[in-house]
Structure 1
Amino acid sequence: MITGIGFRYEQVAEKVEENINILQLKAGDKIPSVRQTGKDLKVSLNTVFQAYSLLEAKGLIISRPRSGYILNSFGSSLKIPATKSRPMLPARVEITAMAAAMMKNAKENGIINFSILAPVNEFIPITSLNKAVKASLSESGNDNFQYPLIEGHPNLLKQISRLSLEWKKPLNPKNILVTNGGMEAINLCLDSITNMGDIIAVESPTYHGILQSLERRGLKALEIKVDPETGLCIDDLELALSNNEVAACIFMPRCHNPTGSSMPEENKIRLVELLGKLNIPMIEDDCLGELSFGTANGYPAKAYDNYDNVLYCSSFSKTLAPGFRIGWVSAGRHHLNIEKLKFGSNISTNGILQDAIGKYLESGLYSKHIRKMRNDLQGQMIKYIGAINQYFPEGTKLAVPKGGLSIWIELRSDIDAFEFQKKALSQGIGICPGHIFSSLEYYQNYIRLNYCPLWTNKIENAIRNLGNIIRV
């Protein structure tokens, strides 16, 4: 019988994987039928179908008409080769021109755009947000038409604080500053704790916007390997810190962009302890953290920060409304300095939109919206991965995300992702080449694919076309 936490079909999938390993099944071997698995585990046939769909999406099993399911001949789990020597040396960052060109080309030519990491309108509670905005505009005697407080709208600060009540160390509203999106939060942190020429430890791969921020400030990137399942490799980080004078770190412990990995809780605690004892500030990018699937969610690293050393950055751009550009930062002992930098930069963030999101959060609708969004995104992810396994050639590898909005894909070693992107754009399809996720040359045959666009025949045909481009 299946018991415990998480979606039941995920637990069934894990149990089936365990049984495959115990029975030592080989490629081509038949696995127990849907009916038999349902009977053995005492779950509904629909739950087993969902579990088998997830395993099929992962590339572990294949459906054979009138024959049931068999073990696949090749898996889909991406593993960064351990034999690949990667000297951990700080490097100058020069990717802004490449990233800007990629985004512009995809926006102008990508009829089907898998490159922009943002929720499509179907995932945004537009009606409820419209009501909240109208309420913010129509209330008599409100101050929303005046300059807001530097730190942010009081009700929004209160509601953001409430989101952290389950943490071991919840956020105090007095220690939260509202920003123009998550990137302003990260940039304010960098301006507060770094100087030109400093070495900043980042993940490899990492979000290209972080690398662009380092480049603008003349900072050097020290890339630390990310495991596609467990996230940042802390042993590698320890080694790098012992050999380099690192001024700060920027990491994404939950729903890492681009791999979709999430660090286990014990790893987050170890990370916070390591950097806290060394007094090396850590900027935590948690803009995608709310979109973790099933049991993978956990807490951000900030929840375990006993050193006041984590500068926590997040936003509502990935969960509510990208166009509102509402983010926030809670920067520990650096918070007062960041408030001064915010005032000197742009004084404050849009008060009407702050108030609107505050009202929406206060309504209690947010938690229900997030639960539905996670579930819908996981369904999307399963369909996308299933299509990639079906249409991309053998030798393709991918990291099955534990949350977020995208899939990290390794193509054959002879494929140049930048050239692949150009060919895809000629067919009206936008993708992100792996080049922009590193200051070095590690990911030239990788791509990132956003699985948020709602699944349709048009989307399936686009993925089929991408597979055909690779085969040529």
Structure 2
Amino acid sequence: MPGRIFRYEQVASKIEETIKMLDLQPGDKVPSVRQVSRELKVSLNTVFQAYAILEAKGLIFSKPKSGYVVNVPPRTLNAPHLKQNAALPAVVEITGMAAAMMKNAKENGIVNFSILAPVNEHLPVIKLNKYVTAALSETRNENYQYPLVDGHPRLLKQIARRAFEWPNSIDQQHILVTNGCMEAINLCLDAIAKPGDIVAVESPTYHGILQSLEQRGLKALEIGIDTQTGLRLDNLRAAIANNNISVCIFMPTCHNPTGCAMPQSNKIELVNLLGEHNIPLIEDDALGELNYHGNNLPAKAYDTYDNVLYCSSFSKTLAPGFRVGWVSAGKYHHELEKLKFGSNISTNGVLQDAIGRFLESGQYDKHIRKMRLSLQSQMVKYVGTISGYFPKETRLSIPQGGLSVWIELPITTDAFALQKAALAKGIGICPGHIFSASNIYHQCIRINYCPLWNNKIDNAIKTIASLLS
């Protein structure tokens, strides 16, 4: 299925054509954002998106008080080659490798690109502290007692309000607060799947999902994706026709590790396809709020089959250490509720209340908008620098949101060996091995571009490039 061309991509192509047509040279100014917006009749945000792509390609750069100017001629920035055809279901065995890698990076990584979490500079720490204090200071405070199994009423109400304008909104009675998004996913798997079942996942996919499958004796069936439009529906159809799939776990928005996002039309098609085949979809939307376009609704919003178990979290937007996530599982809600109570009773009530208060204040959307812009700026710097330092055969994804960039290195590269060598230099990266149940991404790495850009970051990327040499 051909990928949809976004408006900002069309604008980027138009500007690139203009630069070539006018034979602009390095240092020459390109049309201003307002000029392009006016002439092409598009929003300022669309033009900024287009310029972000061109900046990531190295074609232009932002010059203080001068706008955008032409950069030195860049090399072509190619998208990674990704697995396109579903293979046979595979037994998953990556937990030991992933756990050791994450522990070593945490303990030894002076510059840590491996842990996918926002740094404090991107978070509203002072404001959250205020609401944590408020959650603890009220007279006759119920937060010192066990919270309700479903979650704190204040937070449940605010979550439901955020989904109120979806085509298919979420009932507050069908929301369950969890210890992060991964507990939500694990509860869904425990409610639906049994050992030996086949679970369809994207290729590559977040290693935490593969670890959950391994712990439950489930088999992974990997479905190819496009680095811009996400899950390939033609591959999924073929997989359904040839396998007895029990459940799917997909990240339609801000995919981890590539940062791609499915167009809304594809999400609707995905929901209908799985609904018609009665295959539940566990939607991992932990990073969805960080979509640079800001208006990309989750697949759950179009679920008329009550077939999507929607899992999300505040770990990537507010506080990773709070470990507050949630799930809306529709017809599976009561089963998940029983599993939650049987495993750990409930999630921290004080932190739920604090997040609920922050959402009540109306500051969350403003924070998210600011965070998206900051992350997009970070992404441009990282992608441009990696493109400049790494070998010419390197291929990069251009994320549409999230926190990470997926990098395909020369075919002879052993990413696991590179990860060990980088760690010896105090740099943590994620090798591609842990994003697949089979060894098909041995030459790939994932880098988190959230750490604020500075000379130390620049030197770390340069060091990785020197190790590749």
TM, length-normalised to structure 1? 0.90
The offset of 1:15, in angstroms, is: 2.1
Residue 17 (structure 1) aligned with residue 17 (structure 2): no
Consecutive unaligned residues of structure 1, counting only runs of 5 or more, are: 1-9
Residues in 1 aligned to 2:62 and 2:284: alpha-carbon distance in whole angstroms: 43
Q: How many residues align?
A: 457
1:460 lines up with 2:452 in the alignment:
no
1:402 to 396, 400, 403: 400
1:197-245 C-alpha deviation (Å, 9 max, x unpaired): 0000000000000000000000000000011000000100000010000
Once residues 47 and 170 of structure 2 are traced to their aligned partners in structure 1, the CA distance between those partners, rounded to angstroms, is 41
In structure 2, what is the Cα distance between the partners aligned to 1:166 and 1:121?
Answer: 31
Correspondence for 2:186: 187
- How far apart are the structure 2 equivalents of 1:23 and 1:429? 38
Deviation at 1:77, TM superposition (A): 3.2
Map residues 260-339 of structure 1 onto 2, 5 A cutoff.
260-294=259-293, 297-339=295-337
**Counterpart residue number, 1:34:** 29
The amino acid of 1:214's aligned partner reads: L
Q: Residues 182 and 39 from structure 1, CA distance in 2 versus in 1: closer, same or farther, beyond 3 angstroms? A: closer
CA-to-partner distance for each residue in 1:110-140, whole Å, 9 max, x for gaps?
A: 0000000001011111111111111111100
Aligned counterpart, 1:429: 427
CA RMSD of aligned residues (A): 2.8
In the TM superposition, residue 170 of structure 1 has moved relative to its aligned partner by 1.3
Q: CA deviation at 1:142?
A: 2.0
Residue of structure 2 equivalent to 1:214? 213
Q: Deviations over 1:156-199 (max 9, x none)?
A: 10001111122111111100000011000000000000000000
Residue in structure 2 matched with residue 347 of structure 1 by the alignment: 345
Residue 399 of structure 2 aligns to a residue whose secondary structure is: coil
**How far 1:32 sits from its partner (Å)?**
11
Q: Give the aligned partner of residue 228 of structure 1.
A: 227
For residues 86-107 of structure 1, give each alpha carbon's deviation from its aligned partner in whole angstroms, at most 9, with x where no partner exists.
4521000000001011101101
2:107 corresponds to: 108
- Which residue matches 2:440? 442
Distance 1:301 1:39 in 2: 34
Q: Give the partner amino acid of 2:103.
A: K
- Alignment-derived partner of residue 5 in structure 1: none
Question: Which structure 2 segments of 5+ residues have no match?
Answer: 1-5, 64-68
Contact 2:8–2:47 at 8 Å: present in 1 too?
A: no
Please state how far the C-alpha of 1:36 moved relative to its aligned partner: 4.7
For 1:36 and 1:144, how far apart are their aligned partners in 2? 56
Partner of 2:169: 170
Aligned equivalents of 1:424 and 1:225: distance in 2?
29
**8 A contact 1:77–1:400 mirrored in 2:** no
Identity fraction in percent: 57
Q: Which moved more, 1:220-229 or 1:10-19?
A: 10-19
Matches of 1:12 and 1:191, distance apart in 2: 41
Counterpart code for 1:348: S
Mapped contact 2:227–2:260 kept (Cα < 8 A): yes
Q: Deviations over 1:328-386 (max 9, x none)?
A: 00001111101010011111111111111111111111111101000110011111111
Contact preservation (8 Å) 1:58, 1:75: no
What is the correspondence of 1:46-61 to structure 2 with a 5 Å cutoff? 54-59=52-57, 61=59
Which whole-Å CA distance do the structure 1 matches of 2:86 and 2:184 have between them? 30
Match status 1:356 vs 2:354: yes
SS in 2 for 1:259: coil
CA contact (8 A) 2:181 2:326 kept: yes
Report the Cα distance in structure 1 between the residues aligned to 2:335 and 2:225, rounded to whole angstroms. 31
Higher alpha-carbon deviation: 32-41 or 263-272: 32-41
Query: TM-score with structure 2 length normalisation?
Result: 0.91
Query: Does residue 158 of the first structure (1) align with residue 154 of the second (2)?
Result: no
Instruction: Tell me what 1:239 maps to.
Output: 238
Q: Which amino acid aligns with 2:216?
A: R
- Shift in Å, 1:69: 2.5
Q: Any conservation in 1 of the 2:86–2:222 contact (CA below 8 Å)?
A: no
- Given residue 13 of structure 2, which amino acid in structure 1 is its aligned partner? E
Do residues 257 (structure 1) and 253 (structure 2) align? Answer: no
Deviation, structure 1 residue 57:
3.7
C-alpha distance in 1 between matches for 2:17 and 2:31: 18
CA distance in 1, matches of 2:113, 2:291: 20
